[in-house]
Structure 1
Amino acid sequence: MRRLLTLWVLGLGALAQVPVGQVATRDVHALLWLPDGRLLFGHHDGIQASEDEGRTWRDLVRKTGFDAMGLVLERDRILAAGHWVLSESRNGGRTWRNLRPRGLPALDLHGYAASGGLHFALEATHGYFVSEDGGKTFKSTAPKGLPKAGMAAMVFQGKTLYVAPMGQGLYQSPDGGQTFTQVPTPEREIYALAAGAGTLYLGGKTGLWQRTPAGWKRLWQGTVLALAAHPQEAGRLVFIDGQGRVWKLP
């Protein structure tokens, strides 16, 4: 009887939680929550913005092949990195400028993170690259302890860089991407990472997870393709599932 009651209560909780919106694109790649409250969503043909936490979306960039696989906020600029795309906006996404940094042999970028002038990138053919001047110049790097990958989710949490090579779990680096150690995680297939208010979150094939001092806590069950944490308010998240539905926590 106690088990039946527990399942009934859990079922009520699941029914009470409904998606707030839907995205309709070919691909779901990246989410970014800006300090002004807007959400940016990167997909295969551009970038969309939401001013109501994911309920409705409008185009910021609509261009075939503008594949925004990663969206990064660094100080006053937004960076979009992806398949043959590396662009920046310094006016909240209204206009964009293509970047051609020195040292990157190609711009097929399958992972990108930036913090305080330090940039870390994964180029699909040529591997990992690091920049110490805000992305103006890059140099090739072979990070100790980080496996090779064709695609990876990346995020800085303070000075610590987290990288999740596709299908290979999670790794952390305290020294800007020079050396990495593996972080135990509840699943190896990780699609998205987010750091908000001192907390690390990951989205993968089976759920949305929060890192706590006691270990990983599952916040939601199901596939999470893109994830964003509120830049100031702890615990507030928006994510997109495998069917393109937009969810908000809490």
Structure 2
Amino acid sequence: MRPLALTLFLGLALAQTPLGPVSTRDVHALLWHPSGALLLGHHDGIVAWGDTPQDLVRRRDWDAMNLAWDGRRLLVAGHWILAESQDLKRFRDLSPKGLPALDLHAYAVDPKRPEVHYTLEATHGPFRSQDGGRTWRKLPAQGLPKAGMAFFLVDPKGRLWVSLMEQGLFLSEDGGQSFRPLPSPDPAPGPLALSPSGTLYLGGQLGLWQRTATGWRRLWTGAVLALAAHPQEEGLLAWVDGKGTLWRGR
């Protein structure tokens, strides 16, 4: 295949549209809220991206590293932060039991059992809650390397997917008791997202990837810092690239 033809072929993998530069520092998380708002968690709060970006929280060092939805409320977890909001206007700090510290570098909710939550505390490792984040217990997490930065995702089967930057992909099928490594298409795997039908997407140093029955397929080339899949529209994705530009594509 000629170079031009190859470029055109690869370009058809994902029709992408740049939405504009993100005027925040260190975008960590993306989440499509059921209202249709695209939420960006960053080092100083949360932005709702619509026709015009709007600050939901703008507070110095209020580091929203992770955004999760449990069916009725938004959960925000990050550096010394665990908070909730039901209306995207008022955010309430939570005081969970069982977490020795609140430096939370990953957070995920089971979509089929929203009372089951997972988090990664930077010093003490992975934890699991079975009551919506009120109380937590440390997980054995056998086979999972210690990591400071990670991305968690729970699929409809209740399996816990973990992406460890510079260390690869891991999967637990027993609620975080044990993990096994998985082949990664990217040397530095990053954010994970799941479509309504259960298709898994991965962002990394080299691009945006889709997991298929035959392996991983690259949809877009370039670093992906944050990633989200629309909860109702199959194949609709949003991501932030290495230069801080927000994209949308399907």
Task: Give TM-score, length-normalised by structure 1.
Answer: 0.92
Contact 1:148 1:165 in 2 (8 A): no
> What CA RMSD, in Å, does the superposition of the two structures yield over aligned residues?
1.8
Q: In the alignment, residue 107 of structure 1 is paired with which amino acid?
A: L
Q: Which residue number in structure 2 is paired with residue 26 of structure 1?
A: 25
Larger CA deviation: 126-135 vs 69-78: 126-135
Q: CA deviation at 1:5?
A: 4.6
Contact 1:238 1:246 in 2 (8 A): yes
Q: Which residue number in structure 1 is paired with residue 96 of structure 2?
A: 101
Contact 1:78 1:89 in 2 (8 A): yes
d(CA) in 2 for partners of 1:170, 1:12: 26
- List alignment gaps of at least 5 residues for structure 2: none
- Is 1:83 the counterpart of 2:79? The answer is yes
Judging changes above 3 Å, is the alpha-carbon distance between structure 1 residues 112 and 17 closer, same or farther for their aligned structure 2 residues?
closer
d(CA) in 1 for partners of 2:7, 2:235: 26
Q: List aligned pairs for 1:12-23, cutoff 5 A.
A: 17-23=16-22
Counterpart secondary structure, 1:6? helix
Q: In the alignment, residue 190 of structure 1 is paired with which amino acid?
A: P
d(CA) in 1 for partners of 2:248, 2:72: 26
Choose from 123, 126, 138 the match for 1:125.
123
d(CA) in 1 for partners of 2:7, 2:199: 31
Q: Which residue number in structure 1 is paired with residue 141 of structure 2?
A: 143
Q: Which residue number in structure 2 is paired with residue 237 of structure 1?
A: 237
1:84-137 deviation line (CA, Å, top 9, x unaligned): 11000012x111000110011110111111122111111111111111111111
d(CA) in 1 for partners of 2:104, 2:57: 18
Q: CA deviation at 1:18?
A: 4.6
d(CA) in 2 for partners of 1:18, 1:232: 19
d(CA) in 2 for partners of 1:201, 1:173: 17
Q: In the alignment, residue 78 of structure 1 is paired with which amino acid?
A: L
Contact 1:28 1:42 in 2 (8 A): yes
Identity of aligned residues (%): 55
Q: In the alignment, residue 81 of structure 2 is paired with which amino acid?
A: V
Contact 1:189 1:204 in 2 (8 A): yes
Choose from 47, 54, 57 the match for 1:58.
54
d(CA) in 2 for partners of 1:138, 1:12: 45
Larger CA deviation: 141-150 vs 58-67: 141-150
- List alignment gaps of at least 5 residues for structure 1: none
Q: Which residue number in structure 2 is paired with residue 165 of structure 1?
A: 164
Q: In the alignment, residue 147 of structure 1 is paired with which amino acid?
A: P
d(CA) in 2 for partners of 1:18, 1:117: 36
Q: List aligned pairs for 1:33-72, cutoff 5 A.
A: 33-52=32-51, 56-72=52-68
Contact 2:205 2:223 in 1 (8 A): yes
Judging changes above 3 Å, is the alpha-carbon distance between structure 1 residues 248 and 103 closer, same or farther for their aligned structure 2 residues?
same
Larger CA deviation: 179-188 vs 64-73: 179-188
- Is 1:213 the counterpart of 2:213? The answer is yes
d(CA) in 2 for partners of 1:48, 1:95: 14
d(CA) in 1 for partners of 2:224, 2:11: 22
Contact 1:160 1:176 in 2 (8 A): yes
Q: CA deviation at 1:22?
A: 1.5
